[in-house]
């Protein structure tokens, strides 16, 4: 599925009548089966963008079109073909691992036997067999992350929207989860929009890195990542990776400075 974002602007009502422009005329074509990383300082509207693409927020102006490249010209409604993986996971704390993963199928009205069978095989595929009956609160951060991934994958939607999913993990767990996600991508070739503020992560995972500006969020530059697939962590040491990292770091540095200055001003204004 292609995701074509055109002139999307998001304005939040701010304090005292002033309004905050979170996203400013953002346009990009996220091509089908491509892994795109949105890289930017905090507050640049990258999370807002994926929520708009997922149909969970309505943009102030602009449009998002989802279409199958095989059927050009046919636009599908937003939200139907995509699924989110959230920064704070949003697992349902009262549901077991099994019932969290099966949630989407339950909403579709599948019988208990059907949905549990499929949920079990997905739980196995993310390496959590034996934990079906556990509650999310009983699991480690990495295991919870796998539950969230399985809960999204079970719906087999062609677009996956990931909002800093590994932001809260410790460094080692993060590496394991990145490898897990690369495996999923190589197997399923979904269209992935992946929000991050970690440069290394964006380059390691993405086919392209979209560097965003500080608020208001615009595209600063789109960096194509030419690294071959399947990707592996060893590539971090390659020359090509280093060059991409330098380029991205140079671009993002200015924006982070701007963002920090904005935050300082906002604090002073209080």
Give whichever of 51 and 125 is closer to another protein, judged by the CB atom.
51
Give whichever of 41 and 104 is closer to another protein, judged by the CB atom.
104
Q: Is 151 in the site for another protein (CB under 8 A)?
A: yes
Q: What whole-number distance in Å separates Cα of residue 50 and Cα of residue 53?
A: 5
Give whichever of 105 and 181 is closer to another protein, judged by the CB atom.
105
Binding characters for another protein, 33-62, by CB under 8 A (x = yes): ------------------x--x-x------
Give whichever of 109 and 228 is closer to another protein, judged by the CB atom.
109
Q: Is 129 in the site for another protein (CB under 8 A)?
A: no
Question: How many other C-beta atoms lie within 10 A of the C-beta of residue 11?
Answer: 15
- Which residue, among 211, 181, 5, has the nearest Cα to 85 in the 3D structure? 181
Question: Least separation, in Å, of the C-beta of 79 and another protein?
Answer: 7
Edge-to-edge strand list for the sheet holding 208-212? 82-85, 159-163, 191-196, 35-39, 208-212, 219-224
Between helix 141-153 and helix 112-125 the angle, nearest 10°, is 130
With 0-12 / 13-18 / 19 or more C-beta atoms within 10 angstroms meaning exposed / middle / buried, residue 75 is: middle
Question: Least separation, in Å, of the C-beta of 75 and another protein?
Answer: 20
Which residues sit opposite 38 in a β-bridge? 195, 210
Q: Is 16 in the site for another protein (CB under 8 A)?
A: no
Q: Is 89 in the site for another protein (CB under 8 A)?
A: yes
CA distances from 158 to 1, 153, 224, 259 (A): 6, 9, 22, 33
Give whichever of 83 and 214 is closer to another protein, judged by the CB atom.
83
Q: Which residue has the tokens 């060059």?
A: 243
Q: ∠ CA 176-193-203 to the nearest 5 degrees?
A: 55
Q: Which stretch binds another protein (CB under 8 A): 31-39, 104-112, 177-185, 201-209?
A: 104-112
Question: Least separation, in Å, of the C-beta of 133 and another protein?
Answer: 11
Contacting another protein (CB under 8 A), which of 3, 91, 181, 248? 91
Give whichever of 39 and 143 is closer to another protein, judged by the CB atom.
143
Q: Which helix (H) or strand (E) holds 122?
A: helix 112-125
Binding residues for another protein, per CB under 8 A?
Answer: 51, 54, 56, 79, 83-84, 86, 88-94, 103-104, 106-108, 135-138, 151, 155
């Amino acid at each position: 599925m292609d995701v074509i974002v055109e002139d999307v602007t998001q304005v939040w009502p701010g304090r005292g009548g002033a309004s905050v422009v979170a996203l400013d005329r953002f346009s990009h074509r996220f091509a089908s089966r491509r892994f795109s990383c949105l890289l930017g300082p905090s507050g640049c509207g990258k999370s807002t963008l994926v929520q708009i693409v997922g149909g969970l927020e309505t943009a102030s102006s602009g449009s998002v079109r989802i279409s199958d490249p095989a059927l050009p010209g046919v636009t599908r409604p937003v939200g139907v073909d995509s699924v989110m993986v959230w920064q704070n996971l949003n697992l349902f704390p009262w549901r077991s691992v099994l019932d969290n993963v099966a949630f989407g199928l339950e909403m579709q009205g599948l019988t208990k036997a059907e949905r549990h069978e499929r949920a079990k095989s997905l739980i196995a595929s993310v390496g959590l067999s034996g934990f079906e009956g556990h509650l999310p609160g009983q699991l480690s951060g990495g295991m919870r992350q796998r539950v969230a991934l399985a809960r999204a994958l079970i719906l087999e939607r062609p677009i996956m929207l990931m909002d800093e999913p590994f932001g809260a993990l410790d460094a080692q767990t993060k590496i394991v989860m990145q490898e897990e996600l690369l495996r999923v991508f190589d197997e399923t070739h979904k269209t992935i929009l992946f929000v991050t503020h970690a440069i290394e992560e964006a380059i390691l995972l993405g086919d392209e890195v979209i560097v965003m500006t500080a608020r208001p969020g615009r595209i600063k530059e789109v960096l194509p990542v030419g690294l071959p697939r399947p990707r592996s962590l060893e590539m971090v040491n390659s020359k090509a990776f280093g060059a991409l990292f330098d380029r991205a770091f140079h671009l993002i540095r200015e924006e982070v400075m701007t963002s920090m200055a904005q935050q300082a001003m906002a604090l002073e204004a209080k």
